[in-house]
Amino acid sequence: MRIDRLELRPIKLPLAHFFETSFGRTDDKHFILVRVDGDGVTGYGECVAEVDPYYSSETNDTCWHIITSFVAPRVLGAEFAHPRDVFAALKAIRGHNMAKAAVEMVAWDLYAKQRGERLSRTLGGARDRIESGVSVGIQLSLDDLVAKVERELAVGYRRIKIKVKPGWDVEAVRTLRGRFGNIPLMVDANAAYTIKDADHLAALDAFDLMMIEQPLDYDDIADHAALQRRLRTPICLDESIKTVGIAREAIAAGACRIINIKPGRVGGFAESIRLHDLCAAQQIPVWHGGMLESGIGRAANIHLATLPNFTLPGDIAASQRYFDPDLIVPAITGAADGTIAVPDGPGVGVTVVSERVQRATLEACDVRL
């Protein structure tokens, strides 16, 4: 497999609804769209970095810089026997996993297309459908939260995750349990607490949550282990799991019982598969996270989520929750039973609508401002 051409495009898509987490509110999704051409085939993917270094230290600008200056020279024109070799070829570049993943994942799409095979199969997955859950942002009021969750349950989503932060946590969970009973419910704090909040977080144990995602800081394994000893509710790590090595340490330390896999966070599909396999061997269930991707990245995520240890519904939901219209056809839709079909056809199996991409493209200088 050879990548002859690499194109980066800064994209801005308005979100259908604002999305608020403990680190802030997003109204538009800005991302780098990646296109590669090789051996007469075209692959597409997207970089999951955001405008600000709040979820991750990477941003769109750092990814643009790392891809153009360091990743592209190592992959352009190089011959790879398999896309799993791409991450290894980028070893000299420390960190910058989102930048690496943006190119690595497109290499998998290109390879799968060249073989005329569904990406899920190339990745080692077998399922035809994945279980879908939603991530519900912080709302303006508890009434808004109830209304939003009611709509998502009516659509059929199999698990509700709500974003929490100090001042928007125990009451929000109590309200949802009171109104909706024993639904599959979890919370994601995006690192908003410290170990000093352990007693406060222990109050969540009364509500039988599936898990608490990333309660403490993004680089803190030891305090997560201490907190997990204090809580009955399983801790799931997201931000902390930047590499497979850190995952091994976190599991050994008892810092989590569940892991959220986002290929952008760990450097692409090959590393995600290693992380998935490590977790399977350690009896740690995994689920697929989301980064408000457009249909291009969303489709790629669906393929990865077909691997066998993705046993919990993840943050992969229908396109229209995020963007209307999305950049692809057909749009990603959910069935009434809360599942999503794996796109069929070679590679990611979705078609990019070039007029929509044109309309959403920013001048490079806009993204750099």
C-beta closer to ligand OSB: residue 113 or 303: 303
Of these residues, 113, 161, 165, 262, which one is catalytic? 262
C-beta closer to Mg ion: residue 44 or 55: 55
Of these residues, 113, 163, 165, 242, which one is catalytic? 163
Q: Is 29 a catalytic residue?
A: no
Q: What is the dihedral of CA 14, 18, 55, 130, to 10 degrees?
A: -80
Q: Which residue from 25, 31, 12 is spatially nearest to 98, judged by alpha carbons?
A: 31
C-beta closer to ligand OSB: residue 122 or 190: 190
Q: Which stretch binds ligand OSB (CB under 6 A): 57-65, 98-106, 148-156, 289-297?
A: 289-297
Q: To the nearest whole angstrom, how small is the minimum distance from the Cβ of residue 1 to ligand OSB?
A: 29
Q: Does 289 bind ligand OSB (CB under 6 A)?
A: yes
Residue count, binding to ligand OSB (CB under 6 A)? 11
Task: Please say whether the beta carbons of 215 and 188 come within 8 A.
Answer: no
Q: Does 313 bind ligand OSB (CB under 6 A)?
A: no
DSSP label of 346: S
Give the span between the Cα atoms of 349 and 43, in whole angstroms: 10
185-188 vs 160-163, strand pairing mode: parallel
286-288 vs 258-261, strand pairing mode: parallel
Task: Please say whether the beta carbons of 76 and 37 come within 8 A.
Answer: no
Give the span between the Cα atoms of 9 and 35, in whole angstroms: 8
Q: Does 20 bind ligand OSB (CB under 6 A)?
A: no
* Binding site residues, Mg ion, CB under 5 A: 188, 213, 238
Q: Which residue from 247, 225, 271, 255 is spatially nearest to 84, judged by alpha carbons?
A: 271
C-beta closer to Mg ion: residue 169 or 238: 238
Q: Is 12 a catalytic residue?
A: no
Report the residue count for the chain: 369
- Phi/psi at 282 (5° precision): -100, 10
Q: Does 290 bind ligand OSB (CB under 6 A)?
A: yes
Closest residue to Mg ion, judged by C-beta, is 238
C-beta closer to ligand OSB: residue 290 or 349: 290
Determine the Cα angle at 49 with ends 341 and 37, to 5°: 65
**Residue 264 interacts with which of ligand OSB, Mg ion, none, CB < 5 to 8 Å by class:** none
**Residue 135 interacts with which of ligand OSB, Mg ion, none, CB < 5 to 8 Å by class:** ligand OSB
Binding mask 24-63 for ligand OSB (x = CB under 6 A): -------------------------------x--------
| H/E element, 131 | strand 129-131
51 conformational bin, left if phi > 0, alpha if psi -120 to 50, beta if neither: alpha
The residues carrying an active-site annotation are: 163, 262
Which chain residues interact with ligand OSB by CB under 6 A? 55, 135, 188, 190, 238, 289-292, 315, 317
